[in-house]
Chains A and B, each alone.
Chain A
């Protein structure tokens, strides 16, 4: 397989090499270069080392595997493809993501999955293995956000203000979430069997990717959060 040695390359050079590269390749010695694979399609890349901010921004259709942590804005406005992180990620992952998958083994920082969208069968999915920071799924307009809370180390599964302004899509948090405060305009309840069925496919893919068993993931109940209205601002205005 082709190898791009990123040790002495800046981000522009990494991306130039990556556009030239064959469809399958490895980036070695990655150390904070930003914007890796921004807007690309039709490639499979593995990154050894830590990619910088905005990994896979506007990703069109490519598979990225990171064998370490990643920084902020992973999969910003991503369209299609899959980003697999064997570690933790920083803030604002999957901002306005409209398709594809972001699967994270570890935890996510603040503002993950803000304003995720969906259209018909195009449904973005984000799975966080550990915990998520505050403002998870703010303004969520579509798609599926799942947080598993594995290896929580006593932390809450999400920080403060999850689902603020949520008006579409679904969020699944593993556990009963009694310690989480949700805003008024959403409903949080224990996920029924048919609701869990909707995410079974994603969960089993996640298990394969990271070596978990479904039994382990399903050993606790899931809380499902859905918005009460697609039109949260409807009554707020009067024509003038």
Chain B
């Protein structure tokens, strides 16, 4: 203690009249906050280690616990909020780059919350989704721009490879390594049951999960971990990861202590060695180079699988997407600046990139203007939090959405934002066997299926309300959206009118 001391952020409040000293909290907390004084038979705690993951709160049998934000404050200062000051202390103490996890928590505008959805009244009657069929299926991939016939006049029905999704949602990339075996298994089981896809992320594919290949997007990132011909063949689609919304422009880095056992084998790097994904792919310095990687993957998989190129939403995203659409890619995935991560430098996460809403609107418009929108499908993520966000994204021009944080929440994540520690008490962002087994894949997948089924119902209700019975008819239908409290410029970029117009 002394100059390096930073007062704990959270306080653990134990209601002594309720606590029965059962020590459940002690066993549940991998951060070793709780302990028991055997002699006095009372529970003690060390608040300084608490990350507010709510695990002990959820498991205390007598509801004796709560975690509150400490009210020990620095003198208030609008220019120097406590968080900013504490970050300076941390850096002065250690000399380290600040490292955070999950999505950008800053109060920057969430445009989804400033967009309202239309509904039919009197004319163009609404549809009752409980009575009438509603189509939520989407197909992702290149669509031919014109009908082609053979010399004899027969229709040419061969289409470029397409991904079929039962609803316009996929689970986005989270690598085996950043999340646990059981978390991956939960996602794979749920995707298979739901008729959607999950994504391996950049850590390769565990051999146990090859059987879910039809529901798997296999990722190829700059580190090329676990990439080989069988892996490429295993998935339904291949995703080239150029960037990620939480850390555009920088690489990834899974610390050596997490490279153990199966993770090391799946990534094909020695145990204990850092898994470094360089910032760029060192064989991609241009759209032509990207085209080369796209086609080398297509050649290796005999043109049977769509290739997705994933980029972070950054300033010139429309021009970048236009280039990608010409690179031979079948699908462009764009990740907004609120997207989650297992670990990213705080400053990058909070300050680099742009909101997905603006990026999506700009890209869809640009591709339409250039007449190449049907060359590619658009998938957006970072962050899609609800069925309402999905509907708004589709109406802004997306073909489907990527969700990750919402899926983790369904698996038990309480957004404590300390995934980088590897001590996730919910068995998600950890490789410790005793923690991993806390997440039961059967139960995890059931909760994911619940979540997505509920979203699907809500999507149908939105569609019915608008008098639309096929999600395809909503794509890019911006007349169904209105802005609220937005400037002229924001409305112009989003391509929507203000509420009341």
Contacts and interface: CB of A to CB of B under 8 A. Distances in A.
Interface stretch (A111-119, A171-179, A203-211, A217-225): A111-119
Nearest to B278: A139
A6 interface: no
Interface residues of B, number: 50
Given A139-B276, A235-B96, A58 B232 contact: yes
Interface stretch (A24-32, A71-79, A125-133, A146-154): A71-79
Question: Chain A contact residues (Cβ within 8 angstroms of B): what range?
Answer: 35 or more
A228 B54 CA distance: 41
Nearest to B86: A240
B274 to A, nearest CB: 5
Contacts of A167: 273-274, 276
B282 interface: yes
B453 interface: no
A238 B296 contact: no
B300 interface: yes
Interface stretch (A43-51, A91-99, A193-201): A91-99
Interface in A224-238: 230-238
A39 B232 contact: yes
A239 interface: yes
A73 B345 CA distance: 31
Contact of B270 (A12, A142, A233, A239): A142
B394 to A, nearest CB: 35
Given A95-B224, A237-B97, A239-B421, A38 B268 contact: no
A162 interface: no
A35 B296 contact: yes
A111 B300 CA distance: 23
A83 interface: no
Contacts of A38: 296, 299-300
Contact of A230 (B90, B94, B273): B273
Nearest to A61: B229
B301 interface: yes
B273 A11 contact: no
A12 to B, nearest CB: 7
Interface of A is mostly: loop
Contacts of B96: 235-238
Given A39-B300, A114-B282, A240 B268 contact: no
B264 interface: yes
B104 to A, nearest CB: 13
A39 B268 contact: no
A79 B227 CA distance: 8
A60 interface: yes
Interface string B229-266: 11011000000000000000000010110000000110
Given A39-B229, A95-B224, A238-B97, A122 B268 contact: yes
A76 B295 CA distance: 13
Interface in B94-134: 94-100
- Name the residue in B98, B268, B303, B418 with the highest tally of chain A Cβ atoms < 10 Å from its Cβ: B268
Contacts of A35: 295-296, 299-300
A141 interface: yes
Given A60-B229, A167-B274, A167-B276, A231 B224 contact: no
Contact of A77 (B228, B292, B346, B418): B228
Interface in A41-94: 41, 53-54, 57-60, 72-73, 76-77, 79, 92
B283 interface: yes
B240 to A, nearest CB: 12
B144 interface: no
B447 to A, nearest CB: 29
A239 B418 contact: yes
B256 A230 contact: yes
Interface of A: 11-12, 15, 19, 34-35, 38-41, 53-54, 57-60, 72-73, 76-77, 79, 92, 95-96, 98, 111, 114-115, 117-120, 122, 135, 138-139, 141-142, 165, 167-168, 230-240
The 9 closest A-B pairs by CB, nearest first: A39-B300, A238-B96, A96-B224, A240-B98, A35-B299, A38-B299, A39-B229, A237-B99, A79-B228
29 contacts: A35-B296, A39-B299, A53-B292, A54-B296, A58-B232, A76-B283, A76-B296, A77-B227, A92-B283, A95-B283, A96-B227, A114-B282, A115-B224, A115-B282, A117-B268, A122-B268, A139-B278, A142-B269, A230-B270, A231-B273, A231-B274, A232-B274, A234-B256, A237-B96, A238-B95, A238-B97, A238-B99, A239-B421, A240-B90
